[in-house]
Amino acid sequence: MLWTHVHTAPEDGVMPHIDVWRSVRRNDETKTRRSRRSLAMPRQVADVLDAHRGRQKAECRAAGKLWNPDGLLFPTTEGERRTALNVRRNFRLLLKAAGFETPNDWTPRELRTSFVSLLSDHGLPIESIARVVGHSTSSTTEKVYRKQLRPVISEGAEVMDEIFRTGGD
State how far the Cα of 73 lies from the Cα of 6, in Å rounded to an integer: 9
In this predicted model, what pLDDT tens digit does every residue of 16-59 receive, in sequence order?
998 886 554 455 555 555 556 788 899 999 999 999 999 999 99
pLDDT of res. 7: 93
pLDDT of res. 25: 47
State how far the Cα of 54 lies from the Cα of 59, in Å rounded to an integer: 9
Check if the beta carbon of residue 21 is closer than 8 Å to that of residue 30.
yes
Check if the beta carbon of residue 138 is closer than 8 Å to that of residue 129.
yes
Residue 164 reports pLDDT greater than 60: yes
